[in-house]
């Protein structure tokens, strides 16, 4: 799926007595770049002194060797890559958020989205708080600081604050002496723990970032768990957890295929999705192709199960960063053509099965299908590894409002197929999602059944509306 859905961010944290944490964090952020391409940042703690570097752009654009070296030697660091869901792509919204309060310094990185952020922010503002950015992450930081003033430890403050936070949050907090990771009671967003050979501990959104710093996966941070790393080692506090509800779209699209989430290989999950599609929605065809990147594994599974040969249908231009400019409508319409090139020899004169992870508005799918027909494809049969998007997401996925979702607007699969120009179209069956991730996942964007009340969630830009919209 090209250029439509985005996930809010990726987080990284490391406690390493041998120092070198800034460079390790940079490597980890490279591995998590797929989770956010708008901005990135790193904060380090050297014996209680915190330094932070952050800016708009990709990791490679923000952190050259000199900027990483400027952070110096430190035994703790946290890092963040961001795509905005709540709060715009402004300089003030770049994480880590670094907070100075009466009991010390704190840096926070957050992945997810709160549904009661506006309510919390209003409470804080009425008590005199001043907010500097438009993200709900700042509300989390304020909630922790408010509790920290009245209790004996940051862990206790986090435990108290978590009772007030509603929604998705996988966070890492760095204090003067500790690195603390915590996850919402539903476990909506992933977060795991790794360890290096020298004993250093690492917290990451996805296990693929552990490989980047030569750490091994220990386990996931459990829903409702607070895990602390300090000079004394690793410790944990477990709060009451709800029914596990990890985002199913992590397996379908967001996560890198070499990651393992909740004990499930993302690569194997996508292979299985392709196999299930081949069984449920067979079609006579000459070649199976996948839309890069997440459609490729599923295409392999579809080909293996159906017996139809797999072929490389597209080359993806990986060198177009977020600075790619499309000044006119004509150039914006050609963005797919610039990002994807069809290998004509694979599809010309053939009946093609095209595997993709999702259809959101339908415009990108239509353009990709048009590219295949221009390359000589005789038929294009589309198979999607997700059910139809019918509802918005409130937990950190940039899924559009329902009136803009093509499946919600047109209702019938045949109508969607006609609008995008496919000869046939089939979506992944809702009832088979458990075969991709096991039990305990959130599929609210497909089913409308959310693990918690989302009635007060509001708009994504709820903190920066125009006057006439207030």
Q: Give how far the C-alpha of residue 337 lies from the chain's centroid of Cα atoms, to the nearest Å.
A: 25
Give the tens place of pLDDT for each residue, 254-291.
Answer: 999 999 999 999 999 999 999 999 999 999 999 999 99
With a cut of 50, say whether residue 113 has pLDDT above it.
yes
With a cut of 50, say whether residue 329 has pLDDT above it.
no
Q: In this structure, what token pair is assigned to residue 321? A: 């960063």
Q: How many residues does the chain have?
A: 470
Domains, the chain, ordered by start: 9-245 (3.60.20.10), 265-447 (3.40.50.2020)
Query: 26 an active-site residue?
Result: no
pLDDT band at 325 (very low <50, low <70, confident <90, very high): very low
With a cut of 80, say whether residue 322 has pLDDT above it.
no
Query: Is-contact 328 305, C-beta < 8 A?
Result: no
pLDDT at 6: 52
Mean pLDDT on 191-201 = 97
Other beta carbons within 10 angstroms of residue 233's beta carbon come to 10
pLDDT band at 2 (very low <50, low <70, confident <90, very high): very low
| CA 26 – CA 47 distance, rounded (Å) | 20
DSSP 348-417: TTSEEEEEES--SSSHHHHHHHHHHHHTT-SEEEEEESSPPP-S---SSB-PPPGGG-HHHHH-SHHHHH
Mean pLDDT on 148-177 = 96
Mean pLDDT on 282-305 = 97
Buried (b) or exposed (e) across 293-318, using 16+ Cβ within 10 A?
Answer: bbbbbbbbbbbebbebebbebbeeee
Q: What's the whole-number average pLDDT of the chain?
A: 90
Give the tens place of pLDDT for each residue, 403-461.
Answer: 889 999 998 999 999 999 999 999 999 999 999 998 899 999 999 999 999 987 765 55
Give the tens place of pLDDT for each residue, 445-465.
Answer: 999 999 999 987 765 554 445
Q: 48: which DSSP letter?
A: T
């Amino acid at each position: 799926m090209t250029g439509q859905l985005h996930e809010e961010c990726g987080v990284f944290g490391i406690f390493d007595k041998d120092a070198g944490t800034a460079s390790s964090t940079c490597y980890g952020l490279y591995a998590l770049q797929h989770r956010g391409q708008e901005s990135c940042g790193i904060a380090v703690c050297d014996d209680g002194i915190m330094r932070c570097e952050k800016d708009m752009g990709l990791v490679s654009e923000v952190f050259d060797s000199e900027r990483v070296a400027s952070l110096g030697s430190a035994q703790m660091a946290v890092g963040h890559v961001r795509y905005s869901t709540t709060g715009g792509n402004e300089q003030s919204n770049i994480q880590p958020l670094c907070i100075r309060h009466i009991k010390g310094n704190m840096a926070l990185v957050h992945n997810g989205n709160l549904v009661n952020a506006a309510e919390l922010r209003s409470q804080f503002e009425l008590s005199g708080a001043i907010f500097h950015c438009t993200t709900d992450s700042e509300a989390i930081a304020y909630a922790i600081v408010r509790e920290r003033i009245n209790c004996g430890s940051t862990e206790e403050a986090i435990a108290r604050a978590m009772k007030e936070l509603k929604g998705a949050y996988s966070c890492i907090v760095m204090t003067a002496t500790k690195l603390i990771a915590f996850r919402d009671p539903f476990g909506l967003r992933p977060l795991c723990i790794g360890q290096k050979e020298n004993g250093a501990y690492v917290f990451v959104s996805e296990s693929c970032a552990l490989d980047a710093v030569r750490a091994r996966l220990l386990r996931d941070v459990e829903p409702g768990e607070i895990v602390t790393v300090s000079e004394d080692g690793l410790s944990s506090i477990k709060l009451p957890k709800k029914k596990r509800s990890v985002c199913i779209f992590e397996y379908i699209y967001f996560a890198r295929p070499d990651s393992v989430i909740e004990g499930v290989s993302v690569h194997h999950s996508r292979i299985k999705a392709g196999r299930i599609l081949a069984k449920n929605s067979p079609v006579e065809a000459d070649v199976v192709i996948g839309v890069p990147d997440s459609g490729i594994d599923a295409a392999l599974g579809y080909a293996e199960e159906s017996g139809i040969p797999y072929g490389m249908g597209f080359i993806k231009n990986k060198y177009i960063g977020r600075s790619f400019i499309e000044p006119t409508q004509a150039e914006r319409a050609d963005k797919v053509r610039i990002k994807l090139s069809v290998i004509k020899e694979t599809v010309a004169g053939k009946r093609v099965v095209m595997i993709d992870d999702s259809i959101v508005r339908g415009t990108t799918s239509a353009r990709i299908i048009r590219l295949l027909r221009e390359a000589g494809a005789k038929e294009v049969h589309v198979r999607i590894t997700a059910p139809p998007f019918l509802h918005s997401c409130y937990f950190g996925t940039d899924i559009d409002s329902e009136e803009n979702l093509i499946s919600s607007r047109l209702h019938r699969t045949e109508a969607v197929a006609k609008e995008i120009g496919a000869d046939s179209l089939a979506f992944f069956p809702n009832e088979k999602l458990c075969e991709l991730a096991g039990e305990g996942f959130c599929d609210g964007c497909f089913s409308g059944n959310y693990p918690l009340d989302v009635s007060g969630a509001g708009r994504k830009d709820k903190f920066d509306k125009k006057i006439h919209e207030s």
